[in-house]
Amino acid sequence: MNTLGNEDLGTERSYIVRPASNAKGDEVDLSEFVHSLLRRKWLILGCSFAVAALFYVLTAQMTSYYTARATLMLDPRDTQISTSQALVSDLQLSNPILDSEVAVIQSNQLLEQAISSIGVDRIDALYAEANAPLPPFSWFRSQKPAYSSETDNTAEVDAPPALIPPERVKMNRVSSRIREGLSVRRVGQSYVIEILSETVDPQLSSLMANNLANGYIQQQIVNRREAALRATTWLSNQVEAQRTQVERAEAAVEDFKSAQIISDGASSDIVSQQMIELNDQLARVRAEIAAEEAQVQQIEAVLQGDGAPAVGDLLSSPLFATLRERRLVLLQEDANLATRLGEEHPERRQIASVIAQLDAEMTDEARKVIEGFRNDVRILEFREQALLENVSELEAKLAAISRSSLELRQLEREADALRGTYEDWLARLSEARSQVELQSAEAFLINAAKIPSGPSAPRPKLLTAFGAVLGLVIGLIAALVLETSSHGFARSAQLEAAHGFPVLGSLPKGNWTGPGEIFASLADDPYSLFSERLRQLRETLLSRKESGTSHSYVLLSSVPNEGKSTAALALARMFAISNRTTILVDLDTRQSAIYREANLTMEHDLGDFIAGRVSLSQAIMRGGSLNFDVLGSSSSKGILSDAVKHSELVELVETLKRHYEIVIIDAPPVLAVSDALMVAGVADSLLYLVRWRKTPKRAVKMGLTHLASIGARPEGMVLTMVSTQQDPDYYVRHYNYG
């Protein structure tokens, strides 16, 4: 290879690396989610339609069933005709009781009564007819188990014929089928019970629901009347036996009272009355003593604490009041003199002497009053003692009478108890006789079952709609699985988060068959969306280099067909139209496409320069209509790493930088050939291209790992062939300001 210069190119090269982006590659974006579903809309709609059609075909072959509904209410309100306790108690409605009543309605007894009233043979014939095969799907039966009038689903059918009569076998078979469609349930937390009967005949469904409801109500009335009659008979026997016992007890009490009056004289009632009167008098005396003592204590406390003048409010003595008034007059006079005379003045001293004398007289008067109160207390205490003695005498007399009448009280208690019991039994018997005919059911029919106007099962429209929804869900799941299982990168944020290198730009995909058509479209429509994305990438790259210096860029990718050569051609043109001298170097010598796609023809190329047949100037094709120069191979000419050294490529790039502001290098794919590793480090900046949604994530990781092994780090990454209709990062779908 020719020597291109003696400049000291150096062995170290710095790369500008932006810190890893903080964008979250797995963030939830509603618009991205919607776009991902729109991309798979035909899959979703196809699944929905297919499942809906399947449900419609299947439900069309099912046996029709009709549901009738009767509604009962358990009434917790009592009709109070009498004030006594009901002979047959009403239900204390609670959750367990209501659940029990639901079970009663579904009992075999009520069910068989309802079937018998309709006719066992009629129901049996209806079910046998409804379960006949329906063409054209003779293999398909109803969603209910197949029915046969010759067999029974219960265990009793398997019993020997001699033990179960034919009528019983038929009843078991019919009741089993009716029970399958019978549903009795409580409505919410209310007292309302629904009876739903689902059968193959609309009239049969209505009759069955109404017969069960009416049978339950009638059974309640019959059971309550029978219980009332049994209770009335038992009460009559109890009343007769109790009457005899009461008569004997009352006679024994009267005989004992007569004998006691003769022996004791006064009765215990008279003595008890005297005791009550004495105890009342004793209580009043003790209250008076307590009041007198409290008043004495209060007067003494005030006298000792505040002096005689303060006691005046507690005493009613006229003398004390007179002395107190005189003292107040003197205090007023002394206060007037104090405004102009001192305490030692004769007039004030005379007034003070008189006030002291009055205080002493008031103290003496207060003590006299206190002594009077104490005398009254002593008199009351003497009276209290006399009353206590009288009470003691009466208590002794009453104890003697009580000891002698202990047997009488026992006899009276027995008589009272027997009398009370007898009266209760008698009143209960009277009420029981009146309640026998008043018994009524605790439930009443709110809504009678009507003949259903249409089948309740199957419901083709509803099941078809359900099938459509189910298919829609299946389609959505399938779309999401396909979307999440994509091998490539769908967003710039995902690419940045995965590898830590900034995504400097994204190039949209167009209706082009090759780089040549793209290159032509840039000239024809310089204001297209693709052109604007190229300008954004150009300005981003220019902002990251030093102003006024030349710069070289190498474009790499993981695998072929990622739009690398196209991006190199387009980017070179964008730099050229910005009045920057630009050269495009094609180092993908194994599959060189630049000359072919750009329709370039020349006598010499890069291969001739490497072989030493021509100079570098002769190997470069000058701009012309391209607006930039091109250095590359006109055809595939072997392995670059075998023909040239890394240092020689570095020298080549540095030489080009002295003549051009921008040097763009198109390198081969990293994972395809070994030449890429040699070319990776020859430029100032390395751009790594990744095809949108196509380049496998594993391939990108392996390519970057190979570059890291030789110390090469991309300055940034570029997404290529991005669909503007499907990529959520593209906010401008249709753009042209030309």
pLDDT digits (tens, 9 = 90+) for 545-556: 887 789 999 999
**Rounded Cα–Cα distance for residues 467 and 53 (Å):** 8
Amino acid at 685: S
Name the CA dihedral angle for 253, 258, 264, 269, rounded to a multiple of 10 degrees.
60
The 8 Å CB, 24+ separation contacts for 458-461 are 458/59, 458/62, 458/64, 458/65, 458/143, 459/59, 460/56, 460/59, 460/60
Amino acid at 681: G
For residue 174, which of 201, 147, 209, 197 has the smallest C-alpha distance? 147
Contact 267, 376 (CB under 8 A): no
In the three-class reduction of DSSP (H, G, I as helix; E, B as strand; rest coil), residue 720 is classed as strand
Name the CA dihedral angle for 695, 697, 699, 703, rounded to a multiple of 10 degrees.
110
pLDDT digits (tens, 9 = 90+) for 16-51: 333 444 444 445 556 666 766 777 778 888 888 888
Backbone angles phi, psi at 426, to 5 degrees: -65, -45
Question: Please, which residues bridge with residue 417 across strands?
Answer: none
675's CB contacts (< 8 A; 6+ apart) are: 587, 588, 589, 590, 639, 640, 641, 667, 668
Q: What is the pLDDT of residue 89?
A: 54
Question: Is the predicted pLDDT of residue 594 greater than 80, yes or no?
Answer: no
Per-residue tokens: 599? 């329709």
**Rounded Cα–Cα distance for residues 259 and 411 (Å):** 14
Question: Is the predicted pLDDT of residue 395 greater than 80, yes or no?
Answer: no
Task: Mean pLDDT check: name the lowest of 54-58, 108-112, 574-578, 659-663.
Answer: 54-58
Kindly indicate the confidence band of residue 91, based on its pLDDT and cuts at 50, 70 and 90: low
Contact 451, 209 (CB under 8 A): no
Q: What is the pLDDT of residue 184?
A: 92
Q: Starting from the edge strand earliest in sequence, which strands make up the sheet with 662-666, in order?
A: 503-508, 716-722, 685-691, 551-557, 662-666, 582-586, 629-631
More confidently predicted of 732 and 641: 641
Question: Is the predicted pLDDT of residue 728 greater than 70, yes or no?
Answer: no
Angle formed by the axes of helices 564-577 and 515-524, to 10°? 30
In the three-class reduction of DSSP (H, G, I as helix; E, B as strand; rest coil), residue 639 is classed as coil
Q: What is the pLDDT of residue 700?
A: 92
In the chain, count H helices and then E strands: 23, 11
Question: Is the predicted pLDDT of residue 661 greater than 90, yes or no?
Answer: yes
Q: What is the pLDDT of residue 354?
A: 76
**Rounded Cα–Cα distance for residues 692 and 695 (Å):** 7
Q: What percent of the chain has pLDDT over 70?
A: 76
Give mean pLDDT, residues 202-220. Answer: 89
Question: Please, which residues bridge with residue 74 across strands?
Answer: 443
CA distances from 692 to 17, 505, 717 (A): 23, 12, 12
Give mean pLDDT, residues 393-417. Answer: 75
In the three-class reduction of DSSP (H, G, I as helix; E, B as strand; rest coil), residue 312 is classed as helix
Q: What is the pLDDT of residue 149?
A: 56
Amino acid at 505: G
**Rounded Cα–Cα distance for residues 672 and 693 (Å):** 19
Q: Find out whether the peptide bond into 136 is cis, omega within 30 degrees of 0.
A: yes
pLDDT digits (tens, 9 = 90+) for 118-150: 988 888 888 887 764 444 443 444 455 555 555
Contact 544, 505 (CB under 8 A): no
Name the CA dihedral angle for 168, 169, 171, 175, rounded to a multiple of 10 degrees.
130
Q: What is the pLDDT of residue 637?
A: 58
**Rounded Cα–Cα distance for residues 248 and 725 (Å):** 110
Element containing residue 335 per DSSP (H, E): helix 318-337
Question: Is the predicted pLDDT of residue 403 greater than 80, yes or no?
Answer: no
Q: What is the pLDDT of residue 145?
A: 52
Question: Is the predicted pLDDT of residue 180 greater than 70, yes or no?
Answer: yes
Q: What is the pLDDT of residue 501?
A: 92
Task: Mean pLDDT check: name the lowest of 174-178, 269-273, 561-565.
Answer: 269-273
For residue 538, which of 380, 360, 385, 661 has the smallest C-alpha distance? 661
* 3-state DSSP of 652-705: HHHHHHHHCCEEEEECCCCCCCCHHHHHCCCCCEEEEEEECCCCCHHHHHHHHH
Residue entry with tokens 């006399």: 386
For residue 312, which of 356, 375, 369, 355 has the smallest C-alpha distance? 369
Give mean pLDDT, residues 677-696. Answer: 90
**Rounded Cα–Cα distance for residues 569 and 589 (Å):** 16
Mean pLDDT for all residues in the chain: 77
Q: What is the pLDDT of residue 163?
A: 74
Residue entry with tokens 């549901």: 67
Contact 311, 302 (CB under 8 A): yes
More confidently predicted of 727 and 68: 68
**Rounded Cα–Cα distance for residues 693 and 714 (Å):** 20
More confidently predicted of 71 and 405: 71
pLDDT digits (tens, 9 = 90+) for 514-538: 666 776 777 777 778 888 888 899 9
Work out the number of other CB atoms within 10 angstroms of the CB of residue 89: 9
CB-count burial class (<10 Å; 0-12, 13-18, 19+) for 488: middle
Residue entry with tokens 């007067």: 299
Per-residue tokens: 600? 């370039």
Burial 671-694 (b: 16+ CB within 10 A, else e): ebbebbbbbbbbbbbbbbbbbbbb
Q: What is the pLDDT of residue 267?
A: 63
Contact 208, 175 (CB under 8 A): no
* 3-state DSSP of 549-615: CCEEEEEEECCCCCCHHHHHHHHHHHHHHCCCCEEEEECCCCCCCHHHHCCCCCCCCHHHHHHCCCC
For residue 256, which of 373, 407, 106 has the smallest C-alpha distance? 407
pTM, full prediction: 0.45
State the Cα angle at 382 between 379 and 383, rounded to 5°: 90
CB-count burial class (<10 Å; 0-12, 13-18, 19+) for 583: buried
More confidently predicted of 307 and 66: 66
Work out the number of other CB atoms within 10 angstroms of the CB of residue 18: 13
Per-residue tokens: 731? 């906010």
First-last CA distance in the chain? 47
Q: What is the pLDDT of residue 582?
A: 92
Dihedral sign from CA coordinates of 333, 337, 342, 347: negative
